[in-house]
Amino acid sequence: METKTVGILGGGQLGRMIVEAASRLNIRTVILEKGTDSPAKQINSSRDHIDGSFNDKDAILQLARKCDILTVEIEHVDVEALKFAQKETGVAVYPSPETIAIIKDKYLQKLHLLSNNISVAESIDVESTQEALQSVGALYGYPYMLKSRTMAYDGRGNYVVKDASHIPEALTVLNDRPLYAEKWAPFTKELAVMVLRSVDGRVYSYPTVETVHRNNICHTVYAPARVNDTVQQHAQFLAENAVASFPGAGIFGVEMFLLPDNKLVVNEIAPRPHNSGHYTIDACVTSQFEAHIRAITGLPMPKNLTCFSTPSTNAIMLNVLGASVPNEEVYMCTRALQTPHASVYLYGKSTRPGRKLGHINIVSQSMDDCERRLSFIEGKTTALQQ
């Protein structure tokens, strides 16, 4: 159907799921990733893949020469190299390099959102010194969150400064990283919304979901979020406005905190498919991955694209993380395969404790029923009444 070739910077699980969605539409994809056997390359037979870094200028240029459109599955890419490749070859880049540059620095991202009147978790630029961190304590009180501005994921780059005595350790843990500090957000829930932005700047939001983290890593996602309609709609509105403020097209994941007074603030934005949007594969009209491909290639995006498949759809997504006993996570996947209305997605990665190896989607007509199935899959109940 399409003759365009899409180059993807990064070949992890998000790249793999973009490849799957693109191939159903006959859209060719080419991967730039160091690993020769990365999750995205495994399922995409092509001689054109490049074994190189998404931070290597020459490798990015080489990729651009083979493609009509470049996209990313990770924001930690070399933006100047992307701009150079765009100028040299005329390749389209979505999300736009300007957007990636702002988002990949979490503090610049906050400043950008603030200047666009989007509520964010209160934060301040900080130098890596004992005195500077003490002044933040005096300003925000304890605990507060110290964060790396760049290269952060799964909470690696965050340090909770419980009191002044923890400052030396905070400086050691986040040594050599540009920092900023955030006021502690006493959230009652973490919410997230996937937002699609078309080339002509229209935005479409997916339903509001609730993310539950364990040890800073997403454990489960409840779709829709277990909050009232007003909060759900407010979250979608905030997420749409946040994404509308960034140039370029594609899918974005917007993470938010719901505060005790029901106020919502943005935590951070990802300019790419997001873990909190994996439920869309089974629960929505169009998955976040297909939606991304359609947005960046200019394919049609009808009105209901981002809705639940049916008005009564409920879903839970459970991440498959590497168990402390190698491969023990496989038992959970086997139980999921025994469970009606559960689908298992594995990413072709080797096991390591805490590593994201796959996810399981459970879809049903009620959240209670999804929870019952989840409980069996997690081994908390021994039998599932069907």
92 and 68 Cβ atoms separated by less than 8 Å: yes
CA pair distance 255, 130, nearest whole angstrom:
30
362 and 356 Cβ atoms separated by less than 8 Å: no
Closest distance of CB 353 from ligand ATP, Å: 17
Q: Is 150 in the site for ligand ATP (CB under 6 A)?
A: no
Nearest CB to ligand ATP, comparing residues 86 and 267 = 267
Residue 68 interface partner, choices Mg ion, ligand ATP, none, CB cut-off 5-8 Å depending on type: none
Closest distance of CB 73 from ligand ATP, Å: 13
Nearest CB to ligand ATP, comparing residues 20 and 255 = 255
Q: Which of 222, 334, 291 is nearest to 22 (CA)?
A: 291
Stretch 248-277 residues interacting with Mg ion (CB under 5 A): 255, 268
CA pair distance 147, 152, nearest whole angstrom:
8
CA pair distance 289, 286, nearest whole angstrom:
8
Among residues 35, 137, 155, 247, the one that binds ligand ATP under rule CB under 6 A: 155
DSSP state of 245: T
Residue 213 interface partner, choices ligand ATP, Mg ion, none, CB cut-off 5-8 Å depending on type: ligand ATP
Task: State the CB neighbour count (10 A cutoff) for residue 295.
Answer: 24
Q: Is 188 in the site for ligand ATP (CB under 6 A)?
A: no
Contacts of 189 (CB under 8 A, 6+ apart): 210, 225, 226, 227, 257, 258
Closest distance of CB 274 from ligand ATP, Å: 8
Window of 178-186, 241-249, 280-288, 294-302 that interacts with ligand ATP by CB under 6 A: 178-186
Q: Which of 225, 245, 244 is nearest to 235 (CA)?
A: 225
Q: Which of 276, 364, 270, 285 is nearest to 317 (CA)?
A: 276
Q: Is 313 in the site for ligand ATP (CB under 6 A)?
A: no
Closest distance of CB 192 from ligand ATP, Å: 9
Nearest CB to ligand ATP, comparing residues 192 and 196 = 192
308 and 205 Cβ atoms separated by less than 8 Å: no
Q: Is 158 in the site for ligand ATP (CB under 6 A)?
A: yes
Tokens of 102: 């702002």
Q: Is 125 in the site for ligand ATP (CB under 6 A)?
A: no
Contacts of 352 (CB under 8 A, 6+ apart): 322
Residue 157 interface partner, choices ligand ATP, Mg ion, none, CB cut-off 5-8 Å depending on type: ligand ATP
Window of 129-137, 182-190, 234-242, 355-363 that interacts with ligand ATP by CB under 6 A: 182-190
Residue 240 interface partner, choices ligand ATP, Mg ion, none, CB cut-off 5-8 Å depending on type: none
The CA-atom distances, in angstroms, between 14 and each of 29, 39, 58, 136, 359 are 13, 9, 23, 36, 12
Q: Is 73 in the site for ligand ATP (CB under 6 A)?
A: no
Closest distance of CB 208 from ligand ATP, Å: 16
Which single residue is written with the structure tokens 């400086």? 171
Residue 111 interface partner, choices ligand ATP, Mg ion, none, CB cut-off 5-8 Å depending on type: none
CA pair distance 24, 86, nearest whole angstrom:
27
Q: Is 240 in the site for ligand ATP (CB under 6 A)?
A: no
Window of 60-68, 153-161, 197-205, 303-311 that interacts with ligand ATP by CB under 6 A: 153-161
Footprint on this chain of Mg ion (rule: CB under 5 A): 255, 268
